[in-house]
Every structure is written in C-alpha cells, then in structure tokens.
RNA sequence: GGUGAGAUGGGUGAGUGGCUCAAACCAGUAGUUUGCUAAACUGCCGUACGGGUUAAACUGUACCGAGGGUUCGAAUCCCUCUCUCACCGCCA
C-alpha cells in the first residue's frame, strides 16, 4: 500500500510510474489526495470538539468535588451539545476513512526505475542465460511419460482422493520431492537464512498483509468454518511473522526460509499448459524472505537473484533470468526477476522462481518498522523469492536427464536422494 | 468441547470511575562524578493522525488484547469476540 503523503508530494512521478505498470485509473490518485484533505479537516474538527468535552469533564469533576452541583449540571448540558456534534463528525470521518483505504488498496506498487516498459510477457527482458541445453535423442519423451514409466506420480489416484491437480507422489517420486526440499533448505540455511516451518493456513489479516487480500480471494482455498485461507506461498506466513513489529535496526537484514506446500485454485487459468506438472493446485516450494533496510534492498535483491541462480547451476539445469516489464509484474512488486528453466522434451521455458523487491508496499500494510539512527520510525523493505518451486524443476530434471538406462540424478542431489539413478 | 484465571508501554509489573496527560523497577540513551574488564547520581526515553515552526520548541486528539455499551468523565463498570495459561473431557 502506498502512503498518501508520498502521493501528495510526488504527484507527477506517481502518475508516470503507475502508467509504466499499465494502471489506467490514474485519476484515482487525485481522488485519494482530495479524500485525505477532507479527512484532515474532519479530524481537526473532531479533535477540537473532543478537547472541549475533555476540559468540561474535568471541570465537572472539580465542581462535584466542591459540592457545586448547579455548576456541574450546567456544564453537563454543555457537553451534551458537543456530543451530538461529535457523533455527526465521527460518522463522516469513518466513511471517509473507509473510502480512502479502499481506494489506496486499489493502487498497485510503483515500479522501480529499472523496470522496462511493456505490457506482455514478450516485453520482458532476458538479462542472463546459463547452463547447457541438452541434445535429447529421438526417443526422448516429456516428463508425464517418464512419470508413468518409472511410476513416480499417480495423477489419477490424486484426482480420486481430492481432485485434478493434486498429485500423488509415490516411491522414488516422493523421495525426490523430499531430497529437493532438504537440499534447498540446507542451501538456504548455509547462506544465513533461518529455517521456519509455518502454519499452512493463515487468517484474514495475514492474507491482507502480503497483498493477497483484497482482490485475490478467488485464487486461494478458503476454510469457511474458521475463516482461514490455505497459503498460496510461504511468503504469506513468513513475512507476517513480523507484522506489527518494530525491529531493531541492527537486526536487519532478517533472513527467513521455509518449505511449505502451496495451494492455488488457479481459477480461470486452466485450459492449456496444464499437462503433467506444468500447473497443479498443490505443489511444494521452498521460499526465501528478507526484511531489510531500505537503503540496501536493491543490493539484496541482486544477492537473492545470484543465490537462486547458483541453485540452478548446482542442479545443472539450463536457465534464463528475465527482468519483468511493468505490465507483467505483480500488483505488489517494485521490481521482479523471473527464473525459467528449459524443459527439453517439451521444448519450453518454465517459470520456477520469481524474486521481487516490494520496497514498503507490504511493510506499510503490515507496519514492519525500525527506528533509524535519528530516532525516527521508518518502514523496512521486504523481498522474497522461490528457491525453488518443485514441480517444474522435477519436470526438467526428468526430461533433461533421461537416458536409456534411467534418469540421472544431479550429483549434488545424490546424497539426499540416496542413489544416482531412477530406473 | 467444559470450567477457571488472565491480556497494561521494549521487559517485569502497580493501578476497581475524576488526585494516572499509566506509578515503580529493569533494559536503552545522554551527561556528571569517581575512577577503570565497573559503580553511583541526574536528565531523557511510546505509537498514530493533526496543528505549529526554515527546523525545533510547543501543542490537540486517539491508543492499557479487539469491537460495542453505560457515564459529564472508563485501563478501571457492562456486553460480545479473540488469544494465552491451568485443569477436565475427547483425540493423532
């Protein structure tokens, strides 16, 4: 959520930046500033009247202590007239504050200066490519065939138990998940991240804090009886650990990592690219989150990108890094890098990680602050990234490493997986 | 699920209607003094939204788990909810 004072003081800049994100309702900014002016006026009126009530109340107390009942009675009547005024002001103030908040929540985060213009995924900029694209022989098959061949995942039974898009991992397929999770976590811990195992459901406030609410209700599974949402990513519980906290400046950066399953309804996005592991409702992911000093957040974003890149290098997967254009970025992000790996048998790039700087967009909602060296409260910056999302990594590992004798496990995973080959 | 006890500032914790613009202590911080792997003393030490100022000073309002209510006046009384702890029941 953007701050009104910032909007007011940087009106042209804000409008230009919103345009980069292809946000069309630009006049909303002017409306917000106007609403805030009204809010201030009403607040002033309220404060003044309430002040009179407070003074009068004290006087009444003194009159009564002295036994001057008549004076007290007169003062009481006076207060009564103030109170009807206060009631009216409060009603107006409440409705304006609500409207102001509703409007503010509709504004996406401002893109950083580094964000390229553009509307479509094709406008994203490839900033780096790495790894070797394997040359598969003619008998090579997509991962869904390999999954069947080696009996790694039973999609049909998953659908029987729950529904389509809920894979049932089995045997070596299940063990490969466990090996990847374990490796990713160890890798993150070695880089200084603290491991968490958070709740997989969150309440409304948490979903609101990271920006899932309002607006994206439809993307999350909802537990009606208890008002809980299944998490779409570990980002939600992890970042909310520090909601409403004032952290010590010298405790920054705060680095957190967690494995969680992720639940996504993917409403409306089915129809294509959904075979096998390309898109599912429940998947495993290891996430990294940082709460950082605002001066450092872009430096740290680069570090996180390098961190994820090294993970893909360690897995020997061909990858590329994209800098997302304004139109393809998420609502809350100021700058995002996507990672894609090359799925050799599908001849397709698949997104496996997204690393973003949210600047103060989330921390403003969550009130994650620190006291700076001047003793002033300041919002921290938040960042997060996947390291990594498993299904598409598995798809690529299977396809790219298939041989006549079986699927070769990358060296770094062998100790975790317990063998070199799936056969 | 039942019963009971709780929720106060960074921490401990006092406060059952106006003397609390929340005591005291600890931690933090600035200074003074003595001197030296420290002690004593003194001051300062919440957040949000405003007013005010070049900036400060100064100043208004709100906030004692959340939301309502009673009252001229609520941390304090009443109602609802949430959470924590203890015991009981059920249970992996």
Which nucleotide C1' is nearest A5 CA? B49
Would you call A54 exposed, middle or buried from its count of C-beta atoms within 10 A (0-12, 13-18, 19+)? exposed
Contact predicate A125/A328, CB 8 Å? no
Flag residues 52-71 of A with CB < 7 Å from strand B.
53-58, 60-61, 64
- Comparing A252 with A339, the larger pLDDT belongs to A339
Q: Can you read off the two tokens belonging to residue A280?
A: 């599912």
CATH 3.30.1330.200 fits A121-422, yes or no: no
Please state whether strand B lies within 7 Å of residue A313 at its CB atom. no
Of the listed ranges A77-91, A126-140, A344-358, the least confidently predicted one is: A77-91
pLDDT-above-90 percentage for chain A = 70
* Cα separation, A192 vs A194, whole angstroms: 7
Q: CA A356, C1' B59: Å apart?
A: 43
Q: CA A74, C1' B13: Å apart?
A: 41
Please state whether strand B lies within 7 Å of residue A261 at its CB atom. no
pLDDT tier at A39, thresholds 50, 70, 90: very high
Fold of the domain built from segment(s) A4-106 = Helix Hairpins (1.10.287)
Contact predicate A168/A152, CB 8 Å? no
Over residues A115-130, the mean pLDDT reads 95
Radius of gyration of chain A (CA): 27
Q: What is the mean pLDDT of chain A?
A: 92
Whether residue A339 has pLDDT greater than 90: yes
The DSSP secondary structure of A223-246, one letter per residue, reads ETTTTEEE-SSTHHHHHHTTTT-E
Over residues A231-257, the mean pLDDT reads 91
Query: String of b and e for A198-228 (b: at least 16 CB within 10 Å)?
Result: bebbbeeebbbbbbbbeebeebbeeeeeeeb
Per-residue pLDDT of A304-332, as tens digits, reads: 999 999 999 999 999 999 999 999 999 99
Please state whether strand B lies within 7 Å of residue A117 at its CB atom. no
* DSSP summary character for residue A220: S
Of the listed ranges A78-82, A195-199, A218-222, A309-313, the least confidently predicted one is: A78-82
Which nucleotide C1' is nearest A53 CA? B72
Give the distance between the most distant pair of CA atoms in chain A.
103
Chain B: bases < 7 Å from a protein Cβ: 10, 18, 47-51, 60-62, 72-73
pLDDT on residue A88:
87
pLDDT-above-70 percentage for chain A = 99
Contact predicate A39/A32, CB 8 Å? no
Please state whether strand B lies within 7 Å of residue A48 at its CB atom. yes
> What is the domain partition of chain A in residue ranges?
4-106, 121-422
pLDDT tier at A223, thresholds 50, 70, 90: confident
Whether residue A62 has pLDDT greater than 90: no
Q: CA A340, C1' B4: Å apart?
A: 57
Q: Can you read off the two tokens belonging to residue A345?
A: 């048998």
Of the listed ranges A135-139, A309-313, A320-324, A380-384, the least confidently predicted one is: A135-139
């Amino acid at each position: 959520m953007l701050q009104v004072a910032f909007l007011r003081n940087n009106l042209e800049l804000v409008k230009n930046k919103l345009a980069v994100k292809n946000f069309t309702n630009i006049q909303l900014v002017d409306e917000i500033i106007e609403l805030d002016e009204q809010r201030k006026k009403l607040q002033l009126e309220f404060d003044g009247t309430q002040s009179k009530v407070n003074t009068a109340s004290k006087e009444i107390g003194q009159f009564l202590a002295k036994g001057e009942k008549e004076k007290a009675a007169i003062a009481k009547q006076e207060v009564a007239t103030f109170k009807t005024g206060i009631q009216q002001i409060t009603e107006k103030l409440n409705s304006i504050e609500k409207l102001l908040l509703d409007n503010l929540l509709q504004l996406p985060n401002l893109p950083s200066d580094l964000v390229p213009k553009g509307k479509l995924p094709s406008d994203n900029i490839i900033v780096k490519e790495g790894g070797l694209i394997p040359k598969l022989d003619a008998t090579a098959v997509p991962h869904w065939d390999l999954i069947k061949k080696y009996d790694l995942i039973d999609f049909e039974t998953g659908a029987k138990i729950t529904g389509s898009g809920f894979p049932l991992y089995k045997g070596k397929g299940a063990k490969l998940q466990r090996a990847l999770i374990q490796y990713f976590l160890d890798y993150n811990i070695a880089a200084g991240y603290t491991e968490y195992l958070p709740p997989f459901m969150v309440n409304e406030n948490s979903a609101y804090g990271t920006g899932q609410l309002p607006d994206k209700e439809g993307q999350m599974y909802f537990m009606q009886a208890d008002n809980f949402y299944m998490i779409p990513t570990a980002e939600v519980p992890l970042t909310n650990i520090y909601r409403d906290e004032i952290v010590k400046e010298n405790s920054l950066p705060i680095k957190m990592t967690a494995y969680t399953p992720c639940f996504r309804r993917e409403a409306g996005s089915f129809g294509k690219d959904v075979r096998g592991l390309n898109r599912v409702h429940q998947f495993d992911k290891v996430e990294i989150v940082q709460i950082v000093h605002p001066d450092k957040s872009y430096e740290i974003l680069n570090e996180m990108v390098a961190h994820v890149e090294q993970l893909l290098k360690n897995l020997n997967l061909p990858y590329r890094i994209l800098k997302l254009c304004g139109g393809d970025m998420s609502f809350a992000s100021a700058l995002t890098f996507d990672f894609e790996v090359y799925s050799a048998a599908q001849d397709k790039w698949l997104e496996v990680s997204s690393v973003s700087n949210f600047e103060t967009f989330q921390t403003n909602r969550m009130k994650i602050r620190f006291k700076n060296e001047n003793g002033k409260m300041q919002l921290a910056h938040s960042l997060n990234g996947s390291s990594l999302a498993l299904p598409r990594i598995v798809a690529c590992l299977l396809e790219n490493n298939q041989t006549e004798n079986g699927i070769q496990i990358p060296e770094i995973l062998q100790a975790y997986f317990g063998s070199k080959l799936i056969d």
